[in-house]
Structure 1
């Protein structure tokens, strides 16, 4: 559970997340700037886990989550949320999001979310 696809339309957010992941020994296998790119990259890279921003242009994280999980029911997707996105979070849970991380990123929280999904997968 080490290969991560980072999806966020903000270059800064991607960089911060990538730094956290690199430092913790995760391999960022790809970066996407919207949901459409995320779906295409997922099919090509088959990462262990995806960090998916909810609010993005072209295709949002919820729609990308739907499409990826439809094609890959075992996909592990951690949703990245900004303040005040409770409804979107609830929808993402129903659609199979594995975990949530809030912006601005807190290193411990990001790593805890990754460890949590790894532990859940180990149980299956």
Structure 2
């Protein structure tokens, strides 16, 4: 069972992702609504995996990814993006993201991506 931090500025998206992850027997250890919170919670919660939205207030997902990877290179990060953000997804993967999932979330696809990254 992986410890997962769910990061998205939309509460509905966090709830949806949390439900999917719990069905897949993963433990959601925390939620963050912006990149700065994600950076802080990564320090205290030490998750195995972070699902990271790209577009967020304060610190966006790409910047949070860079900062988290600089201090905790072993954490796996999966980016969450809406359609049409391919350029940002490519940038995220160049900076160490392991995979990406597209919104709206498809339960099977989300769990497949998470399992791929963790194994």
Is residue 5 of structure 1 aligned with residue 9 of structure 2?
A: no
- Ranges in structure 2 where 5+ consecutive residues have no aligned partner: none
Indicate the SS of the match to 2:70.
Answer: helix
TM-score, normalising length: structure 2:
0.98
Partner residue of 2:102? 102
Q: CA RMSD in A?
A: 0.7
Deviation at 1:57, TM superposition (A): 0.4
Output one character per residue of 1:14-60: Cα deviation in whole Å (capped at 9) or x when no partner: 00001101111111000000000000000000001000000000110
TM-score, normalising length: structure 1:
0.94
Partner residue of 1:84? 84
Distance in 2 of aligned mates of 1:65 and 1:30: 16
- Ranges in structure 1 where 5+ consecutive residues have no aligned partner: 120-124
Distance in 2 of aligned mates of 1:31 and 1:89: 21
Deviation at 1:63, TM superposition (A): 0.3
**Alignment map for 1:67-78 (pairs within 5 Å):** 67-78=67-78
Deviation at 1:75, TM superposition (A): 1.6
Distance in 1 of aligned mates of 2:116 and 2:91: 20
